[in-house]
Amino acid sequence: MSEKNWIEVGSTDSIEEEDLIRFDHQDKTFCVYKLTDGFYATDGICTHEAVHLEDGLVMDDEIECPMHQGIFNIKSGEALSPPACEDLKTYPVKVDNDKIFIKID
Amino acid sequence: MKKNIIILGGGQAGIYAAREIRKNDTESNIKILGEENLLPYERPPLSKDFLLDKKNEQDLYFHSSEVLKNENIDFENILITKVDFEHKKLFSKNEDVYTYDTLLISTGSDNKRLSLDNNLNDDVYYLRNLEEAKTIKEKVLNKNKITIIGGGFIGLEIASSLSQLQKKVTVIEISNQLMGRIIPKQIADLVQSTHIDHGNKIILNKQIDKITKKNDNFEILLNDNSLIETDFVIAGIGSTPSVKLFENTNLKLDNGIVTNQFCETSIKNVYAAGDVSNFYHPLYERNMRLESYQHAQNHGICAGKNIAGVKTEYTSIPWMWSDQFNLNLQLTGICDEYDEIIERGNDINKGVIYFFLKNNKIRGACGVGIIGKVGRDIRITSKLTEKDTIVDKQILSDQNLKLNKLIQK
């Protein structure tokens, strides 16, 4: 695992629990979540239609798209409820000195 | 026990029911009979991304034929012309006979049509299915001035798309507001302003007296004697449940097929789901008929469970959306039974929501905003409605306070 692919997202206190922040890097958008047991990251755009998930609802371990209510499991990226049927890509996250990093391939 | 299950109607409710039955019943034969020679497909993009060429036909199908094959769900393109509930048989025009043990009716709804002189019937276009969308897409290419009769969702979505294709669009609506059947006036007025800002002309409170064909164009005479010249006419004036097949049977009809909260009709082993069903909603304690994507999907799934023997009440809170220009409008619950209205936000860029409360509980809410701005709050509202929560009105009315604080876990 190359260190250079770990990108700093922000500090751990920049996200409230059961919430997310949007993180843009180069031409891609990601969502970084704080759940009860830690931080997680997924692609930031819904797989159903090109809409940002940053305005979606985080509840338990799920993110729900604000446009058409497609639901994904944040930890696995699995599409749980139609109209979403394609899984959401997930990314490894680590915390170092109160900073959140995500690993982008 | 292995049964012959027939699903009459190859739309969204039908396909979701079929897959749900299969999830719970691996033995029975499941056959979908569809009028269109197409696998079940998504209709919402027809008036939007399909017209704008952002989605093509292949993007619209819910599932590939492989998915249906893998799940052993049979799909047949056939027009059923007669039903014999007593002997559990369906007949096609060619007298092909289909025998069922259990029947799900998911025939959807049909366009209401304008009463016009016969020679004009082929000159007014409607949009409900893929074929109609293809026709409109092709025909408007070399047209400039387009008139849309009816300011409901479908008419306004087409108006938005055609405006984006640089057409000069006029919308004529008979009532005093757009989308008046279900959308509160406050929200409708915000949407109307956006249409006008994009150059669409909106005419309210006017009826069509006469449409006259002049060479390749048309003159539309309104009831105030004003005249609109146009190159192309599209009508979106609502729909009616597709129940013609059942009119002379003993199936109970009243604004669609009457069903209980388990999708059961008045005839044993006959179920109905989706647009065609006027169903009992236990949370609202009344019957309702809904025409929406979410309802077709969830009602189909609920019918599927019940058909497969998993007794399940339909308690889904109504939810629908419309996308016009850069706006996303969402509605949850019902907004016509209230004793108090609370407004959240006043800037369409941040999202504006009106909550409709009765006895301090939310019955429904409607919001509009730049895409993405109202979805989360509307979704939380659905949950609050479902849980019958007494809400803190201060939080509802202050956009700086998060609504998820209201959800009791």
Is B342 in the same domain as B268? Answer: no
Per-residue confidence (pLDDT) for residue B120, from 0 to 100? 86
Domain count, chain B: 3
| DSSP letter assigned to residue B385 | H
Tell which wins on pLDDT, B117 or B153.
Answer: B153
Identify whether residues B146 and B225 lie together within a single domain. Answer: yes
C-alpha to C-alpha distance for B30 and B16, rounded to whole angstroms: 12
Q: Is the pLDDT of residue B385 over 70?
A: yes
Residues B130 and B215 in one domain: yes
Q: Is the peptide bond before B44 cis (omega within 30 degrees of 0)?
A: no
CATH code for position B36: 3.50.50.60
Interchain contact, A69 vs B379, CB within 8 Å: yes
CATH number for A44:
2.102.10.10
Enter the tokens of residue A24.
């843009």
Domain count, chain A: 1
Q: Are residues B39 and B88 in the same domain?
A: yes
Distance CA B299, CA B305 (A): 10
Residues 50..89 of B with a Cβ closer than 8 Å to A: which? none
Q: Classify residue B53: in a domain, yes or no.
A: no
- pLDDT of residue B240 exceeding 90, the answer is yes
pLDDT computed for residue B362 by the predictor:
95
Query: What does the pLDDT read at residue B409?
Result: 59
Tell me, what's the pLDDT at B150? 97
Residues B117 and B233 in one domain: yes
The pair of structure tokens assigned to B252 is 């109970």
Q: How many CB atoms lie within 10 A of CB B225?
A: 7
Q: Is the per-residue pLDDT at B255 higher than 90? A: yes
Domain interval for residue B247: 4-43+61-109+241-307
Domain boundary among B183, B216, B237: B237
B274 and B248 part of one domain = yes
pLDDT at position A102 is 96
**B155 shares its domain with B226:** yes
pLDDT digits (tens, 9 = 90+) for B200-239: 999 999 999 999 999 889 999 999 999 999 999 999 999 9
B376/A56 touch (CB, cutoff 8 Å), yes or no: yes
Which pLDDT score, from 0 to 100, does residue B371 have? 85
Range of weakest confidence among A9-18, A71-80, B136-145: A9-18
Per-residue pLDDT, averaged over A78-87, amounts to 87
Residue B70 located in a structural domain: yes
Q: Strand A62-64's sheet: what is its strand order?
A: A57-59, A62-64, A71-73, A79-81
Q: Please work out, in degrees rounded to the nearest 5, the angle formed at the alpha carbon of residue B26 by the alpha carbons of B22 and B29.
A: 75
Question: Based on the domain organization, do B190 and B245 belong to the same domain?
Answer: no
Taking the Cβ of residue B376 and every Cβ of chain A, the question of whether any pair is shorter than 8 Å is answered with yes
Query: CB neighbours of B89 closer than 8 A, spacing ≥ 6?
Result: B83, B97, B98, B99, B100
Range of the domain at A20: 3-103
- How far off is chain B from A102, nearest CA to CA, in Å? 24
Q: Do B104 and B247 fall into the same domain?
A: yes
Rounded to the nearest integer, the mean pLDDT of chain B is 95
CATH code of the domain in which B344 resides: 3.30.390.30
Where among B307, B339, B356 does a domain terminate? B307
Predicted local confidence at residue A17, as pLDDT? 86
The answer to whether residue B52 sits within a structural domain is: no
Looking at the fold, whether B174 and B253 belong to one and the same domain comes out as no
Query: Would you say B74 and B29 are in contact if contact means Cβ atoms under 8 Å apart?
Result: yes
* pLDDT confidence bin for A68, thresholds 50/70/90: confident
Per CB-CB distance under 8 Å, the chain A contacts of B293 are: 68, 83
Q: Domain boundary residue among B176, B207, B237?
A: B237
| B230 and B128 within one domain | yes
Query: Which residue is associated with the tokens 């009979």?
Result: B33
Q: Chain A contacts of B292, Cβ < 8 Å?
A: none
Q: What's the pLDDT band for A105 if we cut at 50, 70, 90?
A: confident
Question: pLDDT > 90: what percent of chain B?
Answer: 91
What is the side-by-side strand order in the sheet with B145-149? B124-125, B232-235, B145-149, B168-172, B201-203
